[in-house]
Amino acid sequence: MQSYTTLLQAQLDDMSPDDENFIDELLEVSKLFRTFSEGLDDFIIHHGYEGDLKDTDDKLAFIRDAFKTAHIEVPRELAKWYTELQPIRRETAFQICFAFGLDGPETDEFFRRVFARERSLDCHVIKEAVYYFCLNNDLSYAEAQDILRQLPEPPAGLREGQPVVYTSSIIRELNDIDDREGLIHYITGHIDQFGYNNVKSYESIRQMWSEIASVDGLVAQEFQRFYSGGDDAAMDVVRKALHRAKDRKDVFASNYEIYLAIFQLDKKRVQALNTDRNLIPVLRLLHTDVQDSFPERQVIAKILRGDRVSYESIRKWLILLRFYTFWVRKRLSTGSCTAGENDSIRCIDEINATLVGSGYSELYVGNPYDWLFLYVSRDQEPLITFRTIWSSLLERVLQDAPANPK
């Protein structure tokens, strides 16, 4: 029997956008991704479970014993992880890592392969900096809570003129601390560093958005080079925005118009969904983990303003924008959407570098959102295939929708 990741890796090569039933094949792949409880099955097998995976009560007893042995209160919703496929909270994910004696790198892998969302330990957050130290120094969850009770509350946000300290610097400091007293002393003495987070990821997203959305940015360049003389309805939004903004020198279009241009979706067809300018009916065709925090215009607006958004939203925006900037730059430099030799590898490397540089995990073939980008990046025409998938899904939803009453 193929392993989970081997099965999904094989799908990257087995499907072609030229297949007559390509979209149907794509939707079938979305059914192959496992739920959290299925990932947890694999996890407990690797951590000593020898019972029958079909015996839910036995699995729950095994997990419950691990929590009790680690002196961690058993989550009240534990049974629902299997009976209702309930996603777990971030704090519960950390409790699992403590209960099963994981270290820092193993915790990273748990978040990447089992929890399969967000990011692992964010050491710009006091609680998670303490968890990072304790997991890497064989201290218990109870000891982590005791340390947290001795720490002050950090100020909220960056003060004007305060130098930014990136998470990588905090991690280096944490790695040099020998004991819990040293940890308490370090955090207390540098409390201002723990009042903000995600600075690097926000910087990356803003930089990419500026490169994409400025009046001479990638969206405008792509339109002027390849679509200005045509009648592509999906790019009509760019045509109108450029006409409105002839004298502007900054961003030339709304966040929503740029968003549509990235996906090359026809504004009128999206409006026909009768939603608040989102793709929710389209996303419902895909795996729930794709739907969760999928990039949307309201979230990019929050990021650009500096408002707090979820870890999962940040990660998905980083992937989408790095994918788009890579392939549009390539198209503009070569005049073609066709990928060159090793371009796929370079694209994936750039996405991974962006993720890791912002404190997030690399692309994982077992994550349905990541899988989509791994798939299209390996195609001969990644940008066209990416856009074809979304326009095809949109048309399928519209065709299946009941006619609007007149």
Q: Do 204 and 320 fall within a single domain? A: yes
- At residue 35, does pLDDT exceed 60? yes
pLDDT of 2 reads 56
pLDDT surpasses 50 at 405: no
137 and 155 co-located in one domain: yes
Query: At which residue do the structure tokens 């983990």 appear?
Result: 289
Looking at the structure of the chain, the number of domains it has is 3
Mean pLDDT, range 312-333, rounded to an integer? 97
Higher pLDDT: 139 or 247? It is 139
Judge whether residue 403 has pLDDT over 70: no
Which has the higher per-residue pLDDT, 111 or 404? 111
> Is 251 part of a structural domain of the chain?
no
Instruction: Copy the structure tokens of residue 405.
Output: 């009453």
Are residue 133 and residue 98 in the same domain, yes or no?
no
In the predicted structure, residue 251 carries a pLDDT above the cut 70: no
In this structure, which amino acid lies at residue 11? Q
Strands (E), 244-315: none
Q: What single-letter DSSP state applies at residue 191?
A: G
As a whole number of Å, the CA-based R_g of the chain is: 23
- Answer with the one of 116, 141, 164 that is the final residue of a domain: 116
Give residue 277's pLDDT. 82
Helices (H), 18-158: 22-29, 36-45, 56-69, 80-83, 90-99, 104-110, 126-136, 141-149
Residues 210 and 336 in one domain: yes
Residues 357 and 302 both lie in one domain: yes
Of the pLDDT bands very low, low, confident and very high (cuts 50, 70, 90), residue 236 is confident
- Rounded to an integer, the average pLDDT of 152-172 is 88
* Residue span of the structural domain in which 111 resides: 34-116
Q: Is 137 in the same domain as 171?
A: yes
Query: Which tokens sit at 200?
Result: 């690097």
Which of 67, 88, 116 terminates a domain? The answer is: 116
Is residue 371 domain-shared with residue 305, that is, in the same domain? yes
What pLDDT does residue 161 have? Answer: 82
Task: Compute the average pLDDT of residues 374-381.
Answer: 96
- Check whether residue 138 and residue 107 sit in a common domain: no
5: in domain? no
Task: Tell me what pLDDT residue 388 has.
Answer: 95
Q: Which of 87-96, 269-278, 351-360 is least confident?
A: 269-278
**For residue 329, what pLDDT is reported?**
97
Same domain assignment for residues 211 and 351? yes
Q: Decide if pLDDT at 203 tops 80.
A: yes
Which pLDDT value is given to residue 349?
A: 98
The answer to whether 233 touches 395, Cβ cutoff 8 Å, is: no
My answer on whether 207 and 344 are in the same domain is yes
Nearest to 320 by CA among 353, 294, 346, 342: 294
328 domain-assigned: yes
Give residue 230's pLDDT: 64
Residue 349 belongs to some domain of the structure: yes
Residues 59-70 have a mean pLDDT of 97
Query: Quick one: average pLDDT of 68-82?
Result: 94
pLDDT at 1 over 50: no
Residues 207, 339, single domain; the answer is yes
Task: Judge whether 249 lies within some domain.
Answer: no
| Both structure tokens of 181 | 């007293």
Give the span between the Cα atoms of 257 and 223, in whole angstroms: 13
Whether 16 has a pLDDT exceeding 60, the answer reads yes
Of the two residues 308 and 405, the one the predictor is more confident about is 308
209 and 307 in a single domain? The answer is yes
Q: Is residue 127 part of a domain?
A: yes
**Mean pLDDT computed over every residue of the chain:** 91
Both tokens assigned to 365: 């073939």
- Reply yes or no on whether the pLDDT at 59 is more than 80: yes
- What pLDDT was estimated at residue 406? 39
SS3 145: helix
Nearest-angstrom CA–CA distance, 337 and 331: 5
